[in-house]
Chains A and B, each alone.
Chain A
Amino acid sequence: MAKGKAVATRPSGGGTDAPAGGFVQLLTPDGEHVGSVTTADGTTYSVDFTDEEYRGLYRDLVTVRRLDAEATALQRQGELGLWASLLGQEAAQVGSGRALRTQDMAFPTYREHGVLYCRGIDPIMPFGLFRGVDQGGWDANEHKFNSYTIVIGSQTLHATGYAMGVTMDGKTGSPDGEAVIAYFGDGATSQGEVNEAFVWAGVFNAPMVFFCQNNQYAISEPLERQTRIPLYRRALGYGFPGIRIDGNDVLASYAVTRAALDNARNGQGPTLIEAYTYRMGAHTSSDDPTRYRIASEVESWKAKDPISRVRAFLTKQQLADEDFFGEVDENARKLALDLRERVLAMPDPQPVTMFDHVYPNGSPDLDEQRKAFTEYHASFEGSGH
């Protein structure tokens, strides 16, 4: 459990330039920990974690990858209808997920299983959706984690409206304030609704962070089909800061997201974070990425793996040993096994429940249909059908 303090000092104004190298990076692929990074606008980013917190981040990363692998296996075995893997995006999700404070609200797409895990939510929660027993079925407010949203980009407007509500409730302007984070991908940045969300967030100074995981592909379409400029630079046109981070660096993800959320809760408005990462797997279990990208590209990103760099860092700094790494793997394996067993034990819904929860106040016409459905099925009883 990383609860480390992130430090960011911003002199004034909001610049949009990434440092040399193209993004904020605090942990190199070789596991070198850069003490701090100062961006062109003068903002300095760093983290101040205890040894235990560094180990906690490693544990998070390994666990969410292991659970994700279990889900992919479950799909291949016919136990899930679909799975949207987060493979390769663990650092972006764990870093930003751990940067959220208890009172903050997250609006995910359908791939933020890592953020969900870091919110302290039982990882089985979205499996009803992917197994096909329900459409999600959780309480956004109870978990401070909205329903998975499948139509690309629509949740960014929900997040913006929610953030306007935070302001209207007087919950900004102090370190105890609330902030909102909206997740989306590179493909979503082409959606009108996402651009409307940018407009609204800017105009209403909404206390929120737009967290774009640029994983380079919208199913098969590469980034060049979505944009002519780096995505983080779009923010300037909407009147708030944009910043690009190494999306495979959990420390950068944590530090920059924590700073942006704190700016938001303090009343300084929205920030766009572009987490530059790579979707190592397929778009979903229904996709075949070999049709549109070459193996050497995937290989080059393997060298930037989000987990191996943390392991290298922990080893070099002698913060962890083989016993620790083995224990983390074993623990993740047990969690995955437990998840598997509980997914397999999920009961199929009673068909008549498909008529439930269409309207809070119900509908007499729908009641008639439910009744007819029940009677129709009852008419087969004892007939061998």
Chain B
Amino acid sequence: MAETITLGKSLNHGLRRALENDSKVVIMGEDVGKLGGVFRITDGLQKDFGEDRVIDTPLAEAGIVGTAVGLAIRGYRPVCEIQFDGFVFPAYNQIVAQVAKMFYRSKGKVRVPIVIRIPFGGGIGAVEHHSESPEAYFAHTPGLKVVTCSNPADAYTMIQQAIASDDPVVFFEPKRRYWEKGEVDLDAPLSGAYPLHSARVARPGSDATLLAYGPMVRVALDAAAAAAEDGRSLEVIDLRTLSPVDYPVIFESVKRTGRAVVVHEAPGSGGLGGELAARISEECFYSLEAPVLRVTGYDIPYPAARSEEEYLPDLDRLLDAVDRSFGW
């Protein structure tokens, strides 16, 4: 039965179902037990599944991911919560040097089906280290799969798919969308659900393609709605999967529209937008009416909260880029 719930609650339901369906699934992180996590994503789970399945860990991110590796070798499916994006770096060594490489190192004989959940992105008026978008570091690392959801329905299925996958998955959660509501069918079977590593056309259009993911999908959809009033039909693609990127969906769209604008909160230089632009130019060169444009955060450390509105890509900056694309 479909219910209207927030993205955060939908993740909570997804985690609950994963815990119910597989006794090897364990949740571990700081404050995930009694408190239910600082964003309450694990609310009530320790009460229902016990302290062995929902583990309040010592305050040490490398420890969370490093012990998850050992648990995974033992046959468990750990779901690690990193409290905030900017706190993942103490665990970076374990994620990049161990989680990503264990399957390769062992020639496919040791699997570490770990999910690392990271609330990411800005827009919540937070202090330093609480608003970052570190996805490119992980998308650049072979051996990791990287995904992000943009709406409650996807959050519910994608978290379950990530946990069920034998690949290690870094799961970015758009923290400023935790409270946005949408319809979710909590009884829908996982088999037959939209595939985890597929992009989705969030809004069809014919004049230009907007590529967005996570918290920026909402901005892109708003931009498309505004552009429609000016008579421009923008297609919005929700990437969903950042490693691997689902390129066929993107190429099909851009060949059809001839224009592409990529948007993300992370700094532009060296970011996913550049990679997308390069791949689109390689595959869609003769179809392009304009260069692929990027609307991103600036190449600065995430600024103080009272400046973040000027830092984050918004509807106006996105429409400005669309105008530039059409003006080429």
**Is A350 interfacial (CB-CB < 8 Å)?**
no
Tell me the residues in window 107-132 of chain B with beta carbons closer than 8 Å to chain A beta carbons. 107-111, 113
CA distance A253 to B10 in the complex (A): 53
Bound-state CA distance A135–B106 (Å) is 7
Residues on B with C-beta less than 8 A from A344 are: none
Comparing B39-47, B97-105, B181-189, the segment that makes contact with chain A is: B97-105
Within 8 Å of chain A (Cβ to Cβ): is B287? no
Per-position binary interface string of chain B over residues 241-259, scored 1 when its CB falls under 8 Å from any chain A CB and 0 otherwise: 0001101000000000000
Q: Is the CB of B165 within 8 A of A361?
A: yes
- Is B301 among interface residues, defined by CB-CB distance under 8 A? no
Residue A289 interfacial (CB < 8 Å): no
Within 8 Å of chain B (Cβ to Cβ): is A359? yes
Name which of B69-77, B260-268, B291-299 contacts chain A. Answer: B69-77
Answer yes or no: A157 CB below 8 A from chain B CBs.
yes
Question: Chain A residues with Cβ under 8 A from B210's Cβ?
Answer: none
Query: Total A-B residue pairs with C-beta atoms closer than 8 Å?
Result: 143
> Within B150-181, which residues are at the interface with A (CB < 8 Å)?
165-167
Instruction: State whether the Cβ of B94 lies closer than 8 Å to any Cβ in chain A.
Output: yes
Contact B98 A158 (CB under 8 A): yes
Please choose the segment from B57-65, B222-230, B232-240, B304-312 that sits at the chain A interface, where 4 or more of its residues have CB less than 8 A away.
B57-65
| Set of chain B residues within 8 Å of A156, measured between Cβ atoms | 66
Output the nearest chain A residue to B245 by Cβ-Cβ distance.
A365
Stretch of A82-90, A194-202, A321-329 contacting B (4+ beta carbons < 8 Å): A194-202
Q: Are B70 and A163 in contact (CB under 8 A)?
A: yes
Which positions 330-385 of chain A face chain B at CB distance < 8 Å? 356-361, 363-366
A136 to B109, CA, bound (A): 11
Whether A138 sits at the interface, judged by CB under 8 Å, is: yes
Among the stretches A46-54, A94-102, A141-149, A302-310, the one at the interface with B is: A141-149
* Closest chain A CB from B91 CB (angstroms): 10
Tell whether, in the assembled complex, residue B71 and residue A196 are in contact, meaning their CB atoms are under 8 Å apart. no
Q: Is A162 interfacial (CB-CB < 8 Å)?
A: yes
The answer to the question of A165 belonging to the interface, with a C-beta cut-off of 8 Å to chain B, is yes
Contact partners of B62 in chain A: CB under 8 A: 157, 192-193, 196
Shortest Cβ distance from B239 into chain A, in angstroms?
Answer: 13
Cβ-neighbour of A165 out of B63, B71, B102, B106 (below 8 A): B71
The answer on a CB contact under 8 Å between A360 and B143 is no
* B72 surroundings in chain A (CB, below 8 A): 161
Question: Which of B71, B75, B76, B110 touches A147 (beta carbons < 8 Å)?
Answer: B110
Question: What are 11 A-B contacts defined by CB distance under 8 Å?
Answer: A137-B105, A138-B109, A154-B93, A161-B67, A162-B74, A165-B75, A169-B74, A192-B62, A196-B58, A196-B63, A356-B107
B binding-site residues for A, Cβ under 8 Å: 26, 52, 57-58, 60, 62-63, 66-76, 78, 90, 93-94, 97-98, 101-111, 113, 142-143, 145, 165-167, 244-245, 247
